[in-house]
Amino acid sequence: MKNIAVLTSGGDAPGMNAAIRAVVRYALNLDMKVYGVERGYTGLVEGNFKELKARSVSNILQRGGTILKSARCPEFVKKTVQLAAIEKLKEHNIDGLIVIGGDGSFMGAKALSGHGFPAIGIPGTIDNDIAYTDYTLGFDTACNTVLEAINKLRDTMESHDRVVIVEVMGRHCGDIALHAGLGGGAEIILVPEMPLNMNSVFKKLKQNKEKGKLSGIVVLAEGVGCADEFAKEIEAKTKMSVRSTVLGHMQRGGSPSSRDRYLGTSMGIHAVRLLSQGKSSRIVGIKNERIFDVDIVQGLSIKKKFNKDLYKMAAIMST
């Protein structure tokens, strides 16, 4: 394998640039040429390729986002579009592709592999919602971003005896809410994996009020509901002063943590090794602190399990 390409797809995540940098420099070390595909699968179909040299990825390790940019490409589910993308790759004499993204992006890599074109996936999504791997690129940084916001919000909430509902990303996976909520000492954490019981929320806040605790943090995963609506309902039921804050896309940005830089670098190197060994249809991950890879079909078939023990621990710590 002499020429490979790399693209980022779906939502951006801190650590993607670390992975791109690792792919480029490790591949060059193996005497391969590397091409960056701009704007994900859309750029792949349109043939937006550029050769990447060692200096092309200088000074990007600490940057959030992705220098290759990203875009969603719903039409990539069509076989005709997939085959057209392969033709673009062949026109540029590219022998293999590395895809950095979430499960939707992996479906594209799976399709290309199914058509006989070597493709390897690296998990890049802040939601940490891919089950085969313990952690995905961007998750740690996103949790630290939320934690910083919680710390600042607690200062002002305590100053005014208020409760704040902090809405974080996570439509189907509550890992950001759980991990950041635990780290920030949130009084209540609401995630889509656990049944919602508003009476329990009201009861706990009232009990805190009776004990003299007039402020608090409620971390709400977006998949559970809207922070503004929760704030109004809680204020009406508890007679406490309640505010809402939606962190939104700021959770995706920012300089990646040391953890995400390590993961991006390690996973990028592993992905290049797989292609250099002639392997395809694999996705890279980390399990028990070991970088590994698994068949893409097998990996995507694994169902995400919510850490109920950690959730219970967080509830105990908030008493």
State residue 318 phi and psi, 5-degree precision.
-90, 0
130-167 confidence digits (pLDDT tens): 999 999 999 999 999 999 999 999 999 999 999 999 99
- Residue 319 has a pLDDT of 81
State residue 294 phi and psi, 5-degree precision.
-145, 155
State residue 108 phi and psi, 5-degree precision.
-65, -45
- Residue 72 has a pLDDT of 84
CATH 3.90.1150.10 applies to domain 3-138+256-301 = no
State residue 187 phi and psi, 5-degree precision.
-70, -35
Cβ(7)–Cβ(40) under 8 Å? Answer: yes
43-61 confidence digits (pLDDT tens): 999 999 999 999 999 999 9
Which spans in 92-189 are helix H? 103-114, 139-160, 175-183
Q: How far apart are CA 118 and CA 130, in angstroms?
A: 21
Cβ(29)–Cβ(37) under 8 Å? Answer: no
Cβ(18)–Cβ(65) under 8 Å? Answer: no
Q: How far apart are CA 261 and CA 226, in angstroms?
A: 32
183-194 confidence digits (pLDDT tens): 999 999 999 999
Query: Residues 127, 129, 140, 293: which is the catalytic one?
Result: 127
Cβ(18)–Cβ(49) under 8 Å? Answer: no
- Residue 30 has a pLDDT of 98
283-298 confidence digits (pLDDT tens): 999 999 999 999 999 9
Is the four-CA dihedral 117, 300, 288, 129 of positive or negative sign? positive
Average pLDDT over the chain, rounded to whole? 97
Q: How far apart are CA 122 and CA 26, in angstroms?
A: 15
Q: Tell me how far CA of residue 216 lies from CA of 158, 209, 300, in angstroms.
A: 8, 10, 38
* Tokens standing for residue 49: 């390729």
Q: CATH 3.40.50.450: which residues of the chain? A: 3-138+256-301
Cβ(285)–Cβ(293) under 8 Å? Answer: yes
Cβ(67)–Cβ(20) under 8 Å? Answer: yes
| pTM of the model as a whole | 0.96
- For Cα atoms 210, 216, 222, give the angle at the middle one, nearest 5 degrees: 130
Cβ(48)–Cβ(70) under 8 Å? Answer: no
Residue 116 pLDDT more than 90?
A: yes
Answer yes or no: 127 catalytic: yes
- Residue 1 has a pLDDT of 87
Task: pLDDT band for 17, please (50, 70, 90 cuts).
Answer: very high
Q: CATH 3.40.50.460: which residues of the chain? A: 139-253
Question: What fold is seen in the domain 139-253?
Answer: Rossmann fold (3.40.50)
Q: How far apart are CA 1 and CA 12, in angstroms?
A: 28
Q: How far apart are CA 152 and CA 167, in angstroms?
A: 15
CA dihedral 85, 91, 93, 96 (to 10 degrees): 0
Task: pLDDT band for 7, please (50, 70, 90 cuts).
Answer: very high
Cβ(10)–Cβ(105) under 8 Å? Answer: yes
Edge-to-edge strand list for the sheet holding 162-168: 188-190, 216-221, 162-168, 241-246
